Structure 1
Amino acid sequence: MELRFELKQLHLKETFSIAYGNYDKRDALLIKLSHQNCEGYGECVSIDYYQIDLQSFVLKLKEIQSRIEAQKIIHPEEFFKFLLSFNLHPFLLSALDCAYWDLFGKLENKSFIELNQMPSENLVQSSITISVGDIDNQIQKIEKSSWNKFKVKCKGLDKNNVKRLLQLNRNIALDSNASFTDEDCIWIQENVEVQQFSYLEQPRPIHQYKILKKEGFANWMADEDCQNIDSLDELIPYYNSVNIKLMKCGGLTPALDMIKRAKELNYKIMIGCMTESSVGISAGCILAELVNYADLDGANLISNDYATGNFVENGKIILSQKPGLGIKLK
């Protein structure tokens, strides 16, 4: 098996604004695992909030490259156990895990869905993200869009803006990226009208969720508070829903376990994404049958997508049906 990796840069179609800041591009690390003329791809991106240093990932890959290349082709679940011995950051672990699933499926000439005997007939629709901005501009984007589901970013709570969004009578979620105060959260979860929002994501900074009451009117969804399977039990009294992202939890292999456990605990589940190319989005799309919500618009927001595979068109998730994760570089 051969391991190659390359730093890339993803350019946003327009400036993307969230409560944490504004950005026009994202740095990405593309990983390629190859064997017998088959190539598997994985990806992770640099996110300021998570203090990701892709250069340190490159150094780590160089350090472990010979051991990975010496590894025989085994089942992806066994390969994941092998990867755990390197104590990798979850973002890097995810890129390697996804690349190996893609490679393994191509070698076996079976898709990820076939390998895991998963259903794929009733995929949820994805939302598209409306970044922080003037409420009139946000509403205009929603009304002009051909998508059916929207995640509206906000910085702090403006009650008038909330009312205006609710008046649209559209499928809208609200994501404050931890910018709500305790008082904001109390007002929201005691306001019956907020039931119209499909969910309200990560209202408070990480670990500051004890003001939340899942019995209230808000469908609170944990994002940054829900990093991996160990988070789930602790969050039960506070959150109704969880956002599972492959990079946060370490890839497809742990995501399957996390989805299973979240269902056992009666959470509603979203498969989410960062700003990613079709390499990362293809991996997320194949889990869309297993969850209640999807937010997989990352590749739709960039202007220089360097791959093809599973994709999202006006919210509809379309699977390539090809072996592995169906990823191919342009």
Structure 2
Amino acid sequence: MELHFQLKTLQLKETFSIAYGNYDRREALLVELSYSNSKGYGECVAIDYYQIDLAHFIIRLKEIQPLLEKQAISHPEDFFRFLSRLDLHPFLMSALDCAYWDLFGKLENKSFTELNHIPSTNLAESSITISVSDIEDQIRKIENSSWNRFKVKCKGLHKHNIEKLLRLNRNIALDSNASFTDQDCLWLQENREVQKFSYLEQPRSIDQYKVLKKEGFANWMADEDCQDSDSLDELIPYYKSVNIKLMKCGGLTPALEMIRKAKKLGYKIMIGCMTESTVGISAGCVLAGLTDFADLDGANLISNDYASGNFVENGKITLSGKPGLGITLK
């Protein structure tokens, strides 16, 4: 097996604004694993909140490359156990785990959904993100969009904005990126009208969730608070839903474990993404048959997508049905 990797710059179609800041581009690391004329692809991106240093990832890849290239082709779960012994950052582990699933499926001539017996029809519909802006601008984007589901970013709670969004009578979720206060959360979960929002994502800073009550009217969804399977037990009294992102948890292999556990614990589940090319989005799409919500608009937000595969158009997730994750580079 051979390892190749390269840095990519993802250009945003427009400036993207969230509570943490504004950006026009994201740096990405593309990972390729190849064997016997087949190539598998994975990706991770530099996110300021997680203090991701792709240059450090490249140094680490060069360090483990001899070990990795000695690995015989085996089931992806065996490969993930090998990765788990290398003390890798979850973002980098995700890129390698996804690349290996893509390669393995291509070698076996079976798609990821076939290999894992995952439904490939009646998939959750993806939302598209409306970045932080003036409320009238956000409403204009919603009304002019051909998508049906929306995740509206906000910076702090403005009650009159909440009322305006609710009056639209559309499938809207809120994502404050941890910018709500305890008082904001109390007002939201005690307000009957708030149950009209699909979910309210990561309202407070990480580990500051004990003000939340899952019995309230708000469908609180954990994002940064839910990093891996170990997070799920402690969050039960506070969150109704969890956002599973491949880069957060370390790839498709641990994501499958998280989904199984979350279902047993009664959570609603979303498969989410960051700003990613179709390499990353293709990996997320294959799990949509197991989830209640999807937020896989990452590749729709960039202007220079360098891959094809599974994709999202106006919210509809389409699986290519091709072996592995179905990823090819343009």
Query: For residues 167-246 of structure 1, what are the structure 2 equivalents within 5 Å?
Result: 167-246=167-246
Partner amino acid for 1:252? L
Q: Give TM-score scaled by structure 1 length.
A: 1.00
Partner residue, 2:146: 146
Q: Is residue 124 of structure 1 aligned with residue 124 of structure 2? A: yes
Q: Is residue 315 of structure 1 aligned with residue 292 of structure 2? A: no
Cα deviations by residue, 1:75-127 (Å, 9 ceiling, x for unpaired): 00000001111010000000000000000000011000111122111101000
Partner residue, 1:296: 296
Shift of 1:4: 0.3
Q: What fraction of aligned residue pairs are identical, expressed as a percent?
A: 77
For this pair of structures, how many residues does the alignment match? 330
Cα deviations by residue, 1:283-308 (Å, 9 ceiling, x for unpaired): 00000010000000000000000000
What is the alpha-carbon distance in structure 2 between the residues aligned to residue 120 and residue 4 of structure 1? 30
Partner amino acid for 2:174? L
Cα deviations by residue, 1:149-200 (Å, 9 ceiling, x for unpaired): 0000000000000000000000000000000000000000000000000000
Partner residue, 2:55: 55
What is the alpha-carbon distance in structure 2 between the residues aligned to residue 112 and residue 189 of structure 1? 39
What is the alpha-carbon distance in structure 2 between the residues aligned to residue 58 and residue 260 of structure 1? 32
Shift of 1:253: 0.2
What is the alpha-carbon distance in structure 2 between the residues aligned to residue 171 and residue 114 of structure 1? 31
Cα RMSD over matched residues?
0.4
What is the alpha-carbon distance in structure 2 between the residues aligned to residue 118 and residue 240 of structure 1? 23
Cα deviations by residue, 1:122-155 (Å, 9 ceiling, x for unpaired): 1010000000000000000000000000000000
Q: Is residue 85 of structure 1 aligned with residue 88 of structure 2? A: no
SS at match of 1:16: strand
Q: Give TM-score scaled by structure 2 length.
A: 1.00
What is the alpha-carbon distance in structure 2 between the residues aligned to residue 223 and residue 118 of structure 1? 23
SS at match of 1:96: helix
Q: Is residue 305 of structure 1 aligned with residue 273 of structure 2? A: no
Partner amino acid for 2:141? K
What is the alpha-carbon distance in structure 2 between the residues aligned to residue 169 and residue 180 of structure 1? 23
What is the alpha-carbon distance in structure 1 between the residues aligned to residue 104 and residue 44 of structure 2? 19
What is the alpha-carbon distance in structure 1 between the residues aligned to residue 117 and residue 134 of structure 2? 45
SS at match of 1:7: strand
What is the alpha-carbon distance in structure 2 between the residues aligned to residue 319 and residue 288 of structure 1? 10
